[in-house]
Structure 1
Amino acid sequence: MSKVTQFLARITSGGLSRSRYGRLAFAVTVAMALVASGCVAGFNPLNPLKPLPAAPLQAASPPAAVAPPVPTPAAAPPPAQSLPDVISVVQQVKPAVVSIVTESVGLNVFLQRVREQGTGSGVIFDPAGYILTNNHVIEGARQITVLLPDDRTFDGTVVGRDPLTDLAVVKIDGANLPVARLGDSDQLRVGEWAIAIGNALALPGGPTVTVGVISAVGRSVPEPSGTILHDVIQTDAAINPGNSGGPLVNPRGEVIGINTVIASEAQGIGFAIAINEAKPIVEQLLASGRVVWPWIGVGVQDVTKRLATQLRLSVSEGVLIQDVQRGGPADRAGIRPGDVVVKLEDASVKSVRQLQTEMRKYKIGVDVRITVVRGNQQQVVTVRLQEMPRGL
């Protein structure tokens, strides 16, 4: 483990749990295209608010014979965000939100094989019966049952899944299936309303609806399996066990995220995979049942101003290399822990998501130029992209 990784481990806080309901433990394959392996967390105490001091009193003086000042018109306040019509949104989306019940085989404390059952959620996004959900909801399932709010029940089959992004597509065969519209998560603004719908706690009677706001966007959060999810939406809409795979919806009734994990040691902190991050994954899963990720064999972390100060980096944005897999593409190219990636070919790189996006533009086996900052010097190295090994 590199010194960079050791340092980040000391300042990283945990406490995240998945919102699947049922099984108490998960054996999830950690598949990392970039082997992302860190997430910095922490809080700085806010100074208490202080009232403005009163203006000093002035001695009275005779009025001067001058024209009174013309008051400057006050700037118009920004328009207030109206309350969402939650009832209408729920009527649009709820019919397409499904409960997913899985059966699998596990081992009890006596190492005996026992039947296990788990539940989660999903959302129908195509009238042909394609459902978007989380990989951890269906992973290892021998049988999948899908229940619709109209009481119809279907057998589900896995079309494809991607452990790296914790996304999966399940197929059911049925007629007149309701469909939810997918939105544009890149247009989200912090503070706007968000509505979570899902099979919370596997309660009977249909999906549960909770309302909150978009608390933050572009988060990177670790899953219990160790996988780092990037471009994640944070919301205070209540997300509970069983919500995994269910939609996070905007006031227009569009799916903007897939609810995935909750902060178990905090209140009002849940996370959803941004739908724009999910769309290209879904396309590959529908086409081939799996996602082919270009891989260079590094552990990475977004560089922030706080992290740059703590590690005394010479740049305040980019992608920090935490670990380099021995014998991997990056290792052979001379990349080291502590390097900061700032460019891939001619494209600037300011985040892990940007690095992943740029790498996806190139085919496996192609040589790409990566610019890194080492100390105070920039260096350009050539790395040959490989397909991510299965089982990582």
Structure 2
Amino acid sequence: MKGTFRTLLLIVVLAVVVGLGFTYMNDLDQPEPRRRESMEERSEPLERLRLSRGSSRGSERELSDATIQVVKAVGPAVVKITTREEQLIDDFLLGRFVQETEGIGSGVIFHESGLLLTNSHVVTNAKEIRVWLPGRPDPYVGRLVGDDPYTDLAVVKIEGKDLPTAPLGDSDKLQVGQTVIAIGNPYGFENSVTRGLVSALGRGLMIEPRSNLQLEGVIQTDASINPGNSGGPLLNLQGEVIGINTAIISEAQGIGFAIPINLAKAVAADLIEHGQVVRLGVLGGTITPAFAVAYRQQTGDDLPVDRGVFVTEIIPDSPAERIQLQPGDIITEISGKKVEDISALAQRIREAGFGARIQITVYRSGSRTPSRIQVTLR
């Protein structure tokens, strides 16, 4: 494997872009038995269609009523966030000077003490944070509890009484095709509501191509998410927050993304308790059997494993840097538990928790024998 790191990295990128993988399909060549249909059999779908048209109008009313109830219940806890930031500008003619910029986003209060979730990119580097609640004329001063750019999540705290809150749900129960509601402040329009479907689950979203920083396991939805919606909640029809809206693809319509609330809860707990998120400190890509085949064909070398996480970058001042993990390393286990993709790696680290001592099984470039390294997560 020596000298093939660049090739392996290229394949990682291609695998992310192209989505290498195999689909195994069974019984495709088995012919369906032919049968004769009577006129009565053919008319049954027409009758069902007539009934479904009548029931669909009722279902639409029920869906509309459910949406209204969710908005009434959760809307008061959805806030507008305005920020003020100072940027150092280096101009050829004017020289260096400080320029103030303003930003806007959304958030959702999840605890009566005034804790709210939003996106890291909404509040990071902000000199001043103001939080506006619906129906209240004056803003609250926001204090940044902590933010995590690697998941694009942040926790902000405000001081106040009788603050509305939104219940947090379970994103593991989400299903593709499920109806969801997005509430936020697109372009500054307070508490705008859109409705759509869960289009896909477990998506990867590249947020920093230069460092291969990618959000894993995000929710894709066709509910409209526009600038200013960032940090607002994605809700189910039970009025539970199941995601934090984070991004849109500007070139496409009907494609938005949200961070699963189960991940957001884990990140928020770390930020509140420790001021930072427990993580190993690696960026990388997932090795799959298809990836391994492509690698072997491209390089002529043998890859020691068919599944794992290929390290592309080490985050400075992290546990990974302290134990001298390197780009090109392949992580396959954490404390005896298999790591087959990036999401599994993050889950194993979260399960271990802040301050835990773990054992990492890693294959170094050029070796078919794994190394086992101890490290403390802090």
Answer yes or no: is the 8 Å Cα contact 2:198–2:222 preserved in 1: yes
The 3 A distance-change label for structure 1 pair 87 and 375 is farther
Question: In the TM superposition, what is the alpha-carbon distance from 1:293 to its structure 2 partner?
Answer: 2.8
CA deviation digits over 1:342-383, x for unaligned, max 9?
322321222212112223416658351415598995x33112
Q: CA deviation at 1:6?
A: 3.2
- Are 2:156 and 1:162 aligned? no
Aligned residues: 329
User: 1:236: how far off?
Assistant: 1.3
Kept after mapping to 2: 8 A contact 1:125/1:132 = yes
| Aligned equivalent of 1:343 | 333
**Match status 1:87 vs 2:78:** no
Deviation at 1:333, TM superposition (A): 7.4
Counterpart code for 2:12: L
**Which residue number corresponds to residue 25 of structure 1?**
none
Correspondence for 2:238 = 252
Q: Is the 8 A contact 1:5 1:323 kept in 2?
A: no
Q: In the alignment, which residue of structure 1 is the partner of 2:122?
A: 137
Instruction: Look up the match of 1:262.
Output: 248
Matched, 1:213 2:197: yes
C-alpha distance in 1, partners of 2:144/2:322? 37
TM-score for the superposition, normalised by structure 2: 0.75
With normalisation by structure 1, the TM-score equals 0.72
Gaps of 5+ in 2: 22-30, 37-51, 297-302
- Answer 1 or 2: higher relative contact order, Cα 8 Å, separation at least 6: 1
Distance across 1 between alignment mates of 2:319 and 2:155:
31
The CA distance in 2 between the partners of 1:347 and 1:126, in whole Å, is 34
Counterpart of 1:287 in structure 2 is 273
Instruction: Find the residue that maps to 1:40 and give its secondary structure.
Output: helix
* Unaligned 5+ runs, structure 1: 13-38, 45-52, 59-78
Deviates more, 1:255-264 or 1:315-324: 315-324
Q: Match for residue 283 of structure 2?
A: 299
RMSD: 3.7
Q: Does residue 106 of structure 1 match 2:99? A: no
* Residue matched to 2:165: 179
Which residue in 1 is equivalent to 2:111? 126
- CA deviations on 1:145-183 (whole Å, 9 max, x unpaired) are 111111342111112222222211111112211110100
Instruction: Indicate the structure with greater helix content.
Output: 2
Percent identity at matched positions?
Answer: 41
Structure 1 position 318, deviation (Å)? 2.8
Q: In 1, are the aligned partners of 2:145 and 2:272 still within 8 Å (CA)?
A: yes
Deviation at 1:287, TM superposition (A): 1.8
Give the match for residue 300 of structure 2.
none
Q: Distance in 2 between matches of 1:327 and 1:161?
A: 17
Does 2:210 correspond to 1:194? no
- Counterpart contact for 1:247–1:258, Cα < 8 Å: yes
SS of structure 1 residue aligned to 2:76: helix
- Aligned 8 A contact 1:190 1:213 in 2: yes
